[in-house]
Each structure stands twice: as C-alpha cells, then as structure tokens.
Amino acid sequence: MDTKLFGRHQPGGLFQVVDREYFPGSIFWVNSSTGTDASGYGRNPDAPVATLDYAVGLCTADAGDVIFIMPGHAENLTTATGVNCDISGITIIGLGNGSLIPTFSTTAAAGSITIGAADVTIKHIKMVANFATGTTTGVTIAAAGDGCCLDDIQFRDTSAANEFLIHVSVATTVTDLVLKNCSFVTAAGTMSGSVVFAGSSTNTRVEDCVWYVDSSDSVVDHQTTAAVNFYMARCAIVNIDAGAAGYCLELKTGSTGIVHDCRFGYGKADAEVSCGDAVWWFENYASNTIAESGLLDPATSHAIP
C-alpha cells in the first residue's frame, strides 16, 4: 500500500523515512560549530557543512532539496552574495528557539543574504545588523527571485549605529513573493525603509508580520511603480519616527490588491499612514497618538445599498 512516508538512503548520509510531500529531494545539514566545508560532508547531521552557502552549492535545482541549519549556528555576512541562494526550488529551515535560532550577522556594509533563483524558501532564522555605519540591505531578492518565501525571519539591530538601512530589497518585476510571520525591530537610527520594492511586483503576499521601526521613509515602500494584486493581512506596522514624511504602507497610484485587518501607527502627529487609491481596504486601524486607540483607516464615507 502506498503511503506518504518513504524510506531512502542518501549517498554518504543516513537512512531516512520522510514525508514525500515536504521532503521530495535530498536533505543537507549546516552547523558552524561542528561542520566542515568539504567533499563528503553535509548529508549527515553528525558530519554537517559549516556554512549555508556551501550547502546551497550541494543542492540540485528544482529537486525539492531541503537544508537544515542546526541550533546555535552563527555565521557572519561580509559581502552581498556571501550567502547566495542561487539554486531554484530549495527550502532552508533553521532549527532551535530563543538564543539557539540560527543567526546571520552582517559585519560589513554589503553583508546580505541574496535570493538569486526562483522558488526559494527560508524559514526561522535571525538576521542581525552588526556593522558600525549600517548594513545596506539584510535580504536582497534579485530579479530571478520569483516565488521567494521568507517565513518567520527575525530582523534585529545591534544598536542605533549598527543597523539595517533596508531589511528586504525587492528587484523590479518579482512575482509571487511571500513574507509571513516575520518581525522587524530597529533602534532609533537612519533606516530609510524596511521592505522596499525597486519597481513593479505581481501577487505579493504579506501576512502576520510585525514592524517596530524608525524609518525616514515609508516602512513598506512600493512607491516607484504600481503593484498588481498586492495582498496584506493581519500585520502591525509602527514607525516611531516623528519627522518622516512617508507612510506605514505606501502603494503607488493605480496599485491593485487587498489590505485587511492591519494596524498602523505613526509617530508623526499629522502623517497619513497608508496610501493606495485603487486598493480594497477592510477593517484597518491607524493612530498617530501613542496610548490611544486607533481609528478606522481609510475612513468610511460611503453607504452600501
């Protein structure tokens, strides 16, 4: 009788019984403490590789390969492609909780994780800005990064100076991007925007994310070119910057989509908090005043017959 569970033996690895729905391809292991970036390593948690980029290079495109990053893994990012997820269809999963969540620290301005291929999923890691004059971008989604999913990624600054200037940059024309369960927390600094779209996008989906940031421009910034079918739900965005002229969420004129059940807070007393003239808005609340309840935003002026 056929079942979802499937027994197999990876060359150089363990005998495994896996659910084919979630693990159709090979499985690789990464651990900075015990790993070695060399031939023969990576297929066994007792003999892992040391860096994520090396593990990516072991994967086969579009085979459903999965990389597990083990608890306590710590890695520094010094270049824009120090970790380049340039193999399509891979899934990267961090293991561990609290202080053991796999952590990637940017120790140079250019330090970043780059998504350089389609259908890449990264789940449950921490990104820490740790460069004295600011990290340009935490995660760079290149033009080839259609279908990227960032799930449960924690973005943190080390200090007001050691900060992310942008958390996630998205190249123009990227389609089917998913951000979910992510948290973005910054110190008071010079950040210019959190999730910044360089141009158009199609079918972007943002769900259950939280921002508490100090941004000099829009926090989620899609102001250059219109978005097609942009979707945001159950998110909370607070920009503590009291002098910024941006928005919590800014969608270019003519953008289409749905935004519902979100909460927006802005430290600038007279600032608008959301922008999108062709978007459907349902049950979103906003405030410019701390310690007071938000108001329905955009305001309702129409009647339904």
Q: What is the average pLDDT across 196-203? A: 98
CA 10 to chain centre: 31
Domain count within the chain? 1
- What is the β-pairing status of strands 27-30 and 295-296? unpaired
Distance in angstroms (rounded) separating the CA atoms of residues 147 and 85: 13
The string of pLDDT tens digits covering residues 264-304 is 999 888 778 999 999 999 999 999 988 889 999 988 888 88
The string of pLDDT tens digits covering residues 66-103 is 999 999 999 999 999 989 999 999 999 999 999 999 99
The yes-or-no verdict on residue 5 having pLDDT over 50 is no
The string of pLDDT tens digits covering residues 31-74 is 999 999 999 999 999 999 999 999 999 999 999 999 999 999 99
Check if the beta carbon of residue 244 is closer than 8 Å to that of residue 217: yes
The string of pLDDT tens digits covering residues 172-191 is 999 999 999 999 999 888 89
Q: What is the dihedral of CA 19, 24, 26, 31, to 10 degrees?
A: -60
Q: Give the CA angle between residues 60, 61, 67 to the nearest 5°.
A: 60
* Closest by CA position to 251, among listed 172, 207, 194, 197: 197
Looking at the domain assignment, is residue 29 inside a domain?
Answer: no
| Tokens (6 digits) for 113 | 């994780």
Looking at the domain assignment, is residue 102 inside a domain?
Answer: yes
- What is the β-pairing status of strands 230-233 and 257-260? parallel
Q: Which residues contact 195 (CB under 8 A, 6 or more apart)?
A: 166, 167, 168, 170, 179, 206, 219, 220, 221
What count of other Cβ atoms lies within 10 Å of the Cβ of residue 121? 18
Looking at the domain assignment, is residue 49 inside a domain?
Answer: no
The string of pLDDT tens digits covering residues 127-174 is 999 999 999 999 999 999 999 999 999 999 999 899 999 999 999 999
Looking at the domain assignment, is residue 233 inside a domain?
Answer: yes
- Peptide bond before 45: cis, by omega within 30 degrees of 0? no
Distance in angstroms (rounded) separating the CA atoms of residues 134 and 191: 9
Looking at the domain assignment, is residue 77 inside a domain?
Answer: yes
DSSP code of residue 210: E
What count of other Cβ atoms lies within 10 Å of the Cβ of residue 17? 8
The yes-or-no verdict on residue 9 having pLDDT over 70 is no
The predicted structure's pLDDT at residue 6 = 45
Confidence band for 1, pLDDT divided at 50, 70 and 90: very low
* Closest by CA position to 253, among listed 223, 291, 289, 273: 223
Distance in angstroms (rounded) separating the CA atoms of residues 255 and 258: 10
Distance set, CA 66 to CA 43, 56, 140, 180, 185 (Å): 11, 9, 21, 19, 28
Q: Which residues contact 245 (CB under 8 A, 6 or more apart)?
A: 217, 268, 271
Looking at the domain assignment, is residue 240 inside a domain?
Answer: yes
Three-state DSSP class for 50? coil
| Tokens (6 digits) for 5 | 């569970």
Looking at the domain assignment, is residue 30 inside a domain?
Answer: no
Q: Which residues of 81-116 are buried (b: 16+ CB within 10 A; e: fewer)?
A: bbbbbbbbbbbbbbbbeeeebbbbbbbbbbbbbbbb
Question: For residue 283, is it left (φ>0), alpha (ψ between -120 and 50) or beta?
Answer: left
What count of other Cβ atoms lies within 10 Å of the Cβ of residue 255? 22
Q: Which domain holds residue 179?
A: 62-296
Looking at the domain assignment, is residue 176 inside a domain?
Answer: yes
